[in-house]
Structure 1
Amino acid sequence: MPSTPSNQIRAQRMDRFMAFTISGGGILIIGAVLAMLLFILKEAVPLFIPPQSKSVATLQAPQSAAGWLDESGKAGVFLSPTEGVKALRLPEGTPLPVPADGPLLPWKALTPATPRGECLVIGADDRLFLARMAWSKPAGENDPAQWTLESHWLGGGLVGPQVGEILTFQILEGGGLAGGTTLRVAARQGDGLVWSESALDGTGALDWKALPLDPRLHATAAAWSGDAKNLFVGTREGQLLDVDPEANGVLSSSDFGEPVQSMGFALGHTSLLVGGAQGKLVAFQRVRVNETFQLQAFHHFPRLDGAVLGFQPSQRDKRFLGWTARQVVVDHLTTERRLFSMRIDGPGHATLAPRGDLILHANAATGALHLWSLSAPHPEVSFGLLWGKTHYEGYEKAEYVWQSTGGTDDFEPKFSLVPLVFGTLKGTLYAMLFAFPLAVLGALYTSQLASPRLRNVIKPTVEIMAALPSVVLGFLAGLVMAPLLEKMAVEVFIYPFAVLFLALLVMPIWSRLPQPFRNAFGTGREALWMFPVLLAGIWLASLAGPWVEHTMMGGSYRAWLQSAMGVSYDQRNSLVVGFAMGFAVIPIIFTISEDALSSVPRSLTSASLACGASPWQTAWRVVLPTASPGIFSATMVGLGRAIGETMIVLMATGNTPVLDWSPFNGMRTLSANIAVEIPEAPLHGTLYRILFLAAFLLFIFTFILNTVAELVRQRLRRRYESI
């Protein structure tokens, strides 16, 4: 057998090596994309992991009527009417030293402790004291045995024999040099209500003032507003009242539906939590309707087993604790999710740690303490919150809202992704409306009608546009184009009509020119003759714009838009984004479309021309349909570029996450939102993971677009491949 030449062997080896290299490179690319997708999912999936809870300890302790957990959960303080203040190390249950001061024992009454360690106590001598408790911790010391419990007993005013149960209190911190700290207290006197305001350093008798309520109503619970100007009262008859104690009047009322048993507030002292005698649990808020405030029930929670005995909010988020004689629950205000539910045996008091990660229940009869842990790192996120309308505090109705940060510690983040997806689609739409017709029609003219010399100038020029950095386009759009468009908006909208009018005037003149002149200077060079028309259109629009604005729009187009159409004009709006992002997308669509149009066999165009069709008819009826698979692919590639564009949208729009199709308003896209929110996202926090979820959505959008584009391209290719 003849031997194989050495150069052929080397060529075969090189072919195998290159085939292996190319295949390996493709597999590595696919693997890298899949690895990125898996990493994004790994960071986003924990948002939807359900809360986890477990029993930490069951202890036996002295009977108590109120309790307070340290933020670390390592120590608990308990108040008993007979034994005063006790402290335990948790979860071991060993006693911790406490100060011996305090009102005379036995105490006649005490209120539940707040998450900050504050409660009211009536001593044996009928004096009212405010207890403020705090742990003094040496730096870096985590052992509760080395901590010191500091209890401050403020006040000492005489309560008086006419006062029964104290329902609620509120501390008012004075401002300025003369301001002092005062205490407002509401108490039950028989079937009525009384209230008093006194300084915390007073020792005289409290001046109680009656609240004139309807004698048919019997108050069972009350809660002061955050500024203590309003008192919310619940009655046995199922009425919820908003009372102004200084004006002695009821501002508004609402029907709760069953006897009110307890009242409290979520973090921020805005959402009023109301529990019924039959387990009903509803959150109310004060909203302004027609210049008056009304009580609005804006969140409803699953019913509890038995009468709701009390509430305690977390100091980190909008979760709160509620309990009955048979059940302890932790719910989240905004999402209405039940994060924790546990059966108990017997009445008592419950306490939620300030972080919301520990729950303690003390049985009032046996003194048994039950301690549970709760792991719910992202309670403010749910599928309904991300994609549905949510009723937030301060809003009259449920809405789609994105607002990740605020100016106060009790701010509630709002994480609806709907405005971001809407903004992404809106920005892409306006960009494609500007880019698609210019790119495709420009490619059609360049490939089929332009002269070779002009084609060799147009195509490289447009392709060079793709080299413009998007940050430069965004910079020019935000600082140059947006102010110019605001100043000359009317002229810009008149300009296309002015060009069309001038073109209609020029066409008859062109048709009357001698045929030799048109053949020498017109065929394949028609675009050059449009430059004078375009420049003349600018001159005509600049003349007509002020006249149109003055005569038809009352001298101000912005005022006319607001009055006639109810639309406000923002300087950095969707039109600016559409123009700027269109310039970034045009080169992609133009280049791929021009290649597809130029690849149409010359035999088809020659046959069409031979049958008597004009060059324009041939381009429109034969070339364009044949190249439609490539044009569609170009459009999908440009669409994917527009969806993922970041810097242009970030710099050329106001980044306002609104649901409005108006071209005169801005928007916020998914990609721009990721860039904006990155500095504010703590590692592994809720915002951090939601940004990864937004990245996953962008990945899915582009994947769906590319898949649909390929399916349509294959279908169009099969349709026209026989031509």
Structure 2
Amino acid sequence: MASTPPNQTRAQRMDRFMAFAISGGGLAIIGAVLAMLLFITKEALPLFLPPLVRPAGTASALPAGGIWLEEAGKAGVFLSAGEGVRALRLPTGAALPAPAEGPPRPWRAFTRPNAKGESLVIGADGRLSILSLAWTKPAGENDPAQWTLETRWQGDLPLRDQPRELLHFRLIEGDGLGGGQTLRVVVLLDQGLGWADAPLEATPAPLAWKPIPLEAGLTPTAAAWSADGRNLSVGTLEGQLLDLDVEAGTALASASFGEPIQSLGFALGQSSLLVGGREGGLAAYQRVRVGEAFQLQRFHAFPRLQGPVLGFMPSQRDKRFLAWTPEQAVVDHLTTERRLFSAPLEGRGLAALAPRGDLILHADAATGGLRFWTLDAPHPEVSFGLLWGKTHYEGYEKPEQVWQSTGGTDDFEPKFSLIPLVFGTLKGTLYAMLFAFPLAVLGALYTSQFATPRLRNVIKPTVEIMAALPSVVLGFLAGLVMAPLLERMAVEVLVYPFVVLLLMLALAPFWGRLSRPFRNAFGEGREVLWMVPVLLVGLWLASLAGPWVEQAVMGGSYRTWLQTAMGVTYDQRNSLVVGFAMGFAVIPIIFTISEDALSSVPRSLTSASLACGASPWQTAWRVVLPTASPGIFSATMVGLGRAIGETMIVLMATGNTPVMDWSPFNGMRTLSANIAVEIPEAPLHGTLYRVLFLAAFLLFIFTFILNTVAELVRQRLRRRYESI
């Protein structure tokens, strides 16, 4: 048997090695893509995990009338008429040192501490005082036994008449550098509601209650001051919710709750009024301006509770809040209306929510027994409906789809709708493809079928070099050069295509009168060179005609005309700028692949068409273009994927405003640009961080779907024309 030559053996080994290397490289690429997809999915998936609730134990304590929890939930302050201020370690219930000063006991009345640890107290001497609670912690000390509870008492105001019940109070900061605090109180008197206000820095004078008139037949049950203390919300036994101007003594707005109102409170930010009914109804209201008047709008409704709603406690981190009845305690989120926590109770009592919103405490009113739960809900402000549907946000008249991840205050309500970002992505892609697709495909058709070989060897490398331009350079030029230029010459740009078309129609007869030898020698295959002076002359004529058109048709200002005639605002960095700039990035991709596909059409097909009497244009349009359609479609899909994923051009050439408007004269915000803008400010593993990964997942899915559809269509078109 003949031995294999050494050269052939080496070649076989090299073939096996290269086959292994190529297969391994392909599998590595597939593995890398899948690994990226898994990582993106892992980072986005926690957004949709349900809240985790765990019982955290029980403890014994004396009955209390008010509870305030420390931020981490490791200590609590309990108020009672007989004992005053007590501090307990949680969840063991062990006593902690607490200051003994304060109004003389037993207290006649006091309010439950609000989320800031403030309470209003009427001592045994009948004087009104304000209690402010705070914990002083040594640096790095996590043991509550080493903390110091500070109680600050203010006011000590004498009262002319003792109220039946303290309903609500508000500390109002004064204006200017010298402005002090003013206390505003609403109480329940024998004859109805009363209110008073007093500056805390002035010499205390007896506090006189001013009556608050209500319509006949209305019985007040709850009241709460607005954040600025100017308006008073009142709930009645008849189920009416009133918005009052107490200084003017008038009702500004009213709404029907549908059942007797038991409790009023506020979510974080003090703008959303929480209303609880005696039959377990739970809703949120806000003041909205309609015309020249305000209305109370019911903009969130929550699942009904069992029994009368006894009170509310908001979180100081997000829009979640605690509500409780004698039979049930729940934690709901204002924006998404998600119920994060629900637990059955046994009898009346008090409940409290830690400022972080991760610990719930309930104290039985009869025995003082304490029950604790921990709540792990790191992303309550996100839901499927919020991401893809319309949500009613604070300050908005109706549900809308909005993206606004941050605000100027800690109580800002984040808005994470992805619809404006998806809309912006599709809008930017649309305008880019409207500009790039016809130029690239028609340019490829001319280059492959009509241009001379020498001209083709110049055009194709030049267009391919365009693909090497960094997108940041294109974005820089678009934002700083093209956008201001387009703003100054918008009418000229609009007129330019029509001027060029008219100029070509005017010159066409003269071209036909030229001798055929001249046209064959200098025209056929070189038409694009003759177009250069035509385009330049058209540009000059458009610069002359633009101001005349703007003056004659648009009254001298196209921006004013757009605003008055069409209701459209012209932004300097708009979709047209993005379309032009991103089109330059997409054209080389579509042109190169399309030109290769068109050049690959067998010459036998074109020769047969020409032999049958078809003109070169008819041959290109009826034979070459359909035959090359699989490659052209693939080129279009690749360019579309490039446009969808473009970041820097969109980031630098638009205002990055997440608006939903198809107008070409305003901007947009795309998914990719949003990731680039927001990710540096996103806290690690925070809600914004994970929503951005969800946006990346959407981009991945969009690209995957586009590529899959493109391949399926390409294969179908290929089977259709492969028999030709």
TM range (shorter): over 0.9
Q: Partner of 1:482 in structure 2?
A: 483
Q: Partner of 1:98 in structure 2?
A: 98
Q: Partner of 1:638 in structure 2?
A: 639
CA distance in 1 between partners of 2:205 and 2:571 (Å) = 61
The more displaced of 420-429 and 199-208 is 199-208
Q: Partner of 1:144 in structure 2?
A: 144
CA distance in 2 between partners of 1:486 and 1:194 (Å) = 61
CA distance in 1 between partners of 2:462 and 2:180 (Å) = 74
- Secondary structure of the structure 2 residue equivalent to 1:188: strand
Q: Partner of 1:691 in structure 2?
A: 692
Q: Partner of 1:313 in structure 2?
A: 314
User: Residues 227-266 of structure 1: matches in 2 within 5 Å?
Assistant: 227-266=228-267
Question: Per-residue CA shift, 1:116-142, capped at 9, x if unaligned?
Answer: 111111111111111111111112211
Q: Partner of 2:276 in structure 1?
A: 275
Question: Per-residue CA shift, 1:147-193, capped at 9, x if unaligned?
Answer: 11111121122234452111100001223344221210001112521
Question: Per-residue CA shift, 1:379-428, capped at 9, x if unaligned?
Answer: 00000000001110011111110011111111111100000000000000
- Secondary structure of the structure 2 residue equivalent to 1:325: coil
CA distance in 1 between partners of 2:581 and 2:100 (Å) = 73
- Secondary structure of the structure 1 residue equivalent to 2:398: coil
The more displaced of 479-488 and 108-117 is 108-117
User: Residues 596-611 of structure 1: matches in 2 within 5 Å?
Assistant: 596-611=597-612
Q: Partner of 2:702 in structure 1?
A: 701
CA distance in 2 between partners of 1:102 and 1:317 (Å) = 33
Contact 1:360-1:372 within 8 A present in 2 as well: yes
CA distance in 2 between partners of 1:624 and 1:387 (Å) = 40
CA distance in 1 between partners of 2:460 and 2:226 (Å) = 69
Question: Per-residue CA shift, 1:566-599, capped at 9, x if unaligned?
Answer: 1000000000000000000000000000000000
Opposite residue 439 of structure 1, the aligned amino acid is A
Shift of 1:204: 3.3
Contact 1:261-1:277 within 8 A present in 2 as well: yes
User: Residues 85-234 of structure 1: matches in 2 within 5 Å?
Assistant: 85-200=85-200, 202-234=203-235
Opposite residue 233 of structure 1, the aligned amino acid is V
User: Residues 445-484 of structure 1: matches in 2 within 5 Å?
Assistant: 445-484=446-485
Question: Per-residue CA shift, 1:259-299, capped at 9, x if unaligned?
Answer: 11000000001000000110101100011110211110000
Opposite residue 137 of structure 1, the aligned amino acid is K
User: 1:204 and 1:21, CA in 2 relative to 1: closer, same or farther beyond 3 A?
Assistant: same
CA distance in 2 between partners of 1:456 and 1:47 (Å) = 54
- Secondary structure of the structure 1 residue equivalent to 2:155: strand
2:362 aligned with 1:361? yes
Q: Partner of 1:73 in structure 2?
A: 73
Q: Partner of 2:14 in structure 1?
A: 14
Opposite residue 539 of structure 1, the aligned amino acid is W
Shift of 1:562: 0.6
CA distance in 1 between partners of 2:722 and 2:179 (Å) = 87
Question: Per-residue CA shift, 1:416-445, capped at 9, x if unaligned?
Answer: 000000000000000000000000000000
Question: Per-residue CA shift, 1:642-674, capped at 9, x if unaligned?
Answer: 000000000001000000000001000000000
Opposite residue 175 of structure 1, the aligned amino acid is D
CA distance in 2 between partners of 1:380 and 1:178 (Å) = 39
Q: Partner of 1:615 in structure 2?
A: 616
- Secondary structure of the structure 2 residue equivalent to 1:592: helix
Contact 1:191-1:219 within 8 A present in 2 as well: no
- Secondary structure of the structure 1 residue equivalent to 2:562: helix
Q: Partner of 1:569 in structure 2?
A: 570
CA distance in 2 between partners of 1:628 and 1:275 (Å) = 65
The more displaced of 187-196 and 506-515 is 187-196
The more displaced of 154-163 and 71-80 is 154-163
Q: Partner of 2:396 in structure 1?
A: 395
CA distance in 2 between partners of 1:650 and 1:155 (Å) = 55
Q: Partner of 2:516 in structure 1?
A: 515
Q: Partner of 1:660 in structure 2?
A: 661
Q: Partner of 1:300 in structure 2?
A: 301
- Secondary structure of the structure 1 residue equivalent to 2:198: strand
- Secondary structure of the structure 2 residue equivalent to 1:172: strand
CA distance in 2 between partners of 1:97 and 1:257 (Å) = 46
- Secondary structure of the structure 1 residue equivalent to 2:105: coil
CA distance in 2 between partners of 1:625 and 1:406 (Å) = 54
CA distance in 2 between partners of 1:253 and 1:27 (Å) = 67
Shift of 1:503: 0.6
CA distance in 2 between partners of 1:63 and 1:254 (Å) = 37
Opposite residue 97 of structure 1, the aligned amino acid is P
CA distance in 2 between partners of 1:200 and 1:538 (Å) = 74
2:514 aligned with 1:532? no
2:602 aligned with 1:594? no
Root mean square deviation, CA, Å = 0.9
What is the aligned residue count? Answer: 723
Shift of 1:74: 0.8
Shift of 1:145: 0.8
Q: Partner of 1:419 in structure 2?
A: 420
Shift of 1:200: 2.9
Contact 1:491-1:542 within 8 A present in 2 as well: yes
Contact 2:160-2:208 within 8 A present in 1 as well: no
Q: Partner of 1:680 in structure 2?
A: 681
Contact 2:67-2:112 within 8 A present in 1 as well: yes
User: 1:191 and 1:152, CA in 2 relative to 1: closer, same or farther beyond 3 A?
Assistant: same
Shift of 1:678: 1.4
Opposite residue 65 of structure 1, the aligned amino acid is G
Opposite residue 217 of structure 2, the aligned amino acid is R
Contact 2:491-2:558 within 8 A present in 1 as well: yes
2:66 aligned with 1:51? no
- Secondary structure of the structure 2 residue equivalent to 1:16: helix
Q: Which runs of 5+ in 1 are unaligned?
A: none
CA distance in 2 between partners of 1:429 and 1:178 (Å) = 57
User: Residues 500-511 of structure 1: matches in 2 within 5 Å?
Assistant: 500-511=501-512
CA distance in 2 between partners of 1:180 and 1:492 (Å) = 60
Opposite residue 657 of structure 2, the aligned amino acid is T
CA distance in 1 between partners of 2:430 and 2:556 (Å) = 31
- Secondary structure of the structure 1 residue equivalent to 2:194: strand
CA distance in 2 between partners of 1:485 and 1:132 (Å) = 60
Contact 2:402-2:417 within 8 A present in 1 as well: yes
CA distance in 2 between partners of 1:519 and 1:84 (Å) = 107
Q: Partner of 2:494 in structure 1?
A: 493
Question: Per-residue CA shift, 1:32-63, capped at 9, x if unaligned?
Answer: 00000000001000111111111112111001
Q: Partner of 2:292 in structure 1?
A: 291
- Secondary structure of the structure 1 residue equivalent to 2:505: helix
- Secondary structure of the structure 1 residue equivalent to 2:57: strand
- Secondary structure of the structure 2 residue equivalent to 1:657: coil
- Secondary structure of the structure 2 residue equivalent to 1:377: coil
Opposite residue 113 of structure 1, the aligned amino acid is P
CA distance in 1 between partners of 2:278 and 2:713 (Å) = 63
The more displaced of 26-35 and 159-168 is 159-168
CA distance in 2 between partners of 1:383 and 1:256 (Å) = 28
Contact 2:161-2:208 within 8 A present in 1 as well: no
Name the TM-score, length of structure 2 as normaliser. 0.99
Question: Per-residue CA shift, 1:71-115, capped at 9, x if unaligned?
Answer: 011111101111111111111111011111111111111111111
Opposite residue 133 of structure 1, the aligned amino acid is L
- Secondary structure of the structure 2 residue equivalent to 1:176: coil
- Secondary structure of the structure 2 residue equivalent to 1:35: helix
CA distance in 2 between partners of 1:210 and 1:178 (Å) = 31
Contact 1:126-1:160 within 8 A present in 2 as well: no
2:622 aligned with 1:625? no
CA distance in 2 between partners of 1:115 and 1:37 (Å) = 42
CA distance in 1 between partners of 2:719 and 2:194 (Å) = 85
CA distance in 1 between partners of 2:501 and 2:67 (Å) = 80
